[in-house]
Structure 1
Amino acid sequence: MGLYRMAPPELKELRRQLKELLDTGFIQPSKAPYGASVLFQKKHDGSLWMCINYRALNKVTVKNKYPISLIVDLFNQLSRARYFTKLDLRLGYYQVRIAEGDELKTTGVTRYGSYKFLVMPFGLTNAPTTFCTLMNKIFHPYLDKFVVVYLDDIVIYNNTLKEHVKHLRKVFKILKQNELYVKAIQEWDPPTKVPQLKSFLGLVNYYRRFIKGYSVRAAPLTDLFKKNKTCEWDKRCQQAFENLKKVVTKEPVLALPDHTKVFEIHTDASDFAIGGFLMQDRHSIAFENRKLNDMERHYIVK
Structure 2
Amino acid sequence: VSASIQEELAKGFIRPSTSPASAGFFFVKKKDGGLRPCIDYRGLNEMTVKYRYPLPLVPSALEQLHTAKIFTKLDLRSAYNLIRIRAEDEWKTAFSTTSGHYEYLVMPFGLANSPSFFQAFINEVFRDMLNRWVIVYIDDILIFSNSYAEHVRAVLQRLIKHQLYAKEEKCEFHLDTISFLGYVISSEGVAMDERKVNAVLNWPRPTTLKELQCFLGFSNFYRRFIRHFSTVAASLTAMVKKGSSRLTWSQPPLQAFNDLRLRFTTAPILHHPDPDKPFVVEVDASSTGVGAVLSQRQGDPPKLFPCAYYSHKLSSAERNYDVGNRKLLAIKLALEEWRHWLEGAKHPFTVLTDHKNLEYLRSPKLLNHRQARWSLFITRFHFLVTYRPGSQNVKAGALSRIHEPDLPTSSPETVLPASMIVAPVTWDIMTEISEAQIQDPTPADCPDNLVYVPLTLWPRVLAE
Q: Scaled by the length of structure 2, what TM-score is found? A: 0.33
Task: Tell me if structure 2 keeps the 8 A contact 1:96–1:180.
Answer: no
**Which among 63, 69, 86 is matched to residue 56 of structure 2?**
69
Report deviation, 1:168.
1.8
Report deviation, 1:30.
0.8
Partner in structure 2 of residue 127 of structure 1: 114
| Alpha-carbon distance in structure 2 between the residues aligned to 1:51 and 1:132 | 21
Partner in structure 2 of residue 21 of structure 1: 8
Q: 1:35 to 1:71 in 2, by over 3 A?
A: farther
Partner in structure 2 of residue 169 of structure 1: 153
Q: How many residues align?
A: 165
**Which among 133, 138, 152 is matched to residue 146 of structure 1?**
133
1:34 equivalent in alignment to 2:21 = yes
| Alpha-carbon distance in structure 1 between the residues aligned to 2:88 and 2:69 | 47
Which shows bigger deviation, 146-155 or 71-80?
Answer: 71-80
| Alpha-carbon distance in structure 1 between the residues aligned to 2:59 and 2:3 | 38
Report deviation, 1:36.
0.7
Q: 1:144 to 1:31 in 2, by over 3 A?
A: same
* RMSD (Å), alpha carbons: 2.2
Gaps of 5+ in 1: 1-13, 182-302
Per-residue Cα deviation, 1:93-135 (whole angstroms, up to 9, x for no partner): 1111111111111111112211111111111111111110011
Q: 1:45 to 1:168 in 2, by over 3 A?
A: same
Larger radius of gyration: 2
**Counterparts of 1:256-295 in structure 2 under 5 Å?**
none
Which shows bigger deviation, 113-122 or 71-80?
Answer: 71-80
**Which among 18, 21, 33 is matched to residue 46 of structure 1?**
33
| Alpha-carbon distance in structure 2 between the residues aligned to 1:111 and 1:70 | 43
> Alignment partner of 2:27: what SS?
strand
Task: Tell me if structure 2 keeps the 8 A contact 1:52–1:123.
Answer: yes
Task: Tell me if structure 1 keeps the 8 A contact 2:13–2:106.
Answer: yes
Q: 1:39 to 1:75 in 2, by over 3 A?
A: farther
Gaps of 5+ in 2: 166-464
* Percent of residue pairs bearing the same amino acid type: 44
1:58 equivalent in alignment to 2:21 = no
Report deviation, 1:77.
5.1
Report deviation, 1:87.
2.1
Task: Tell me if structure 1 keeps the 8 A contact 2:19–2:91.
Answer: yes
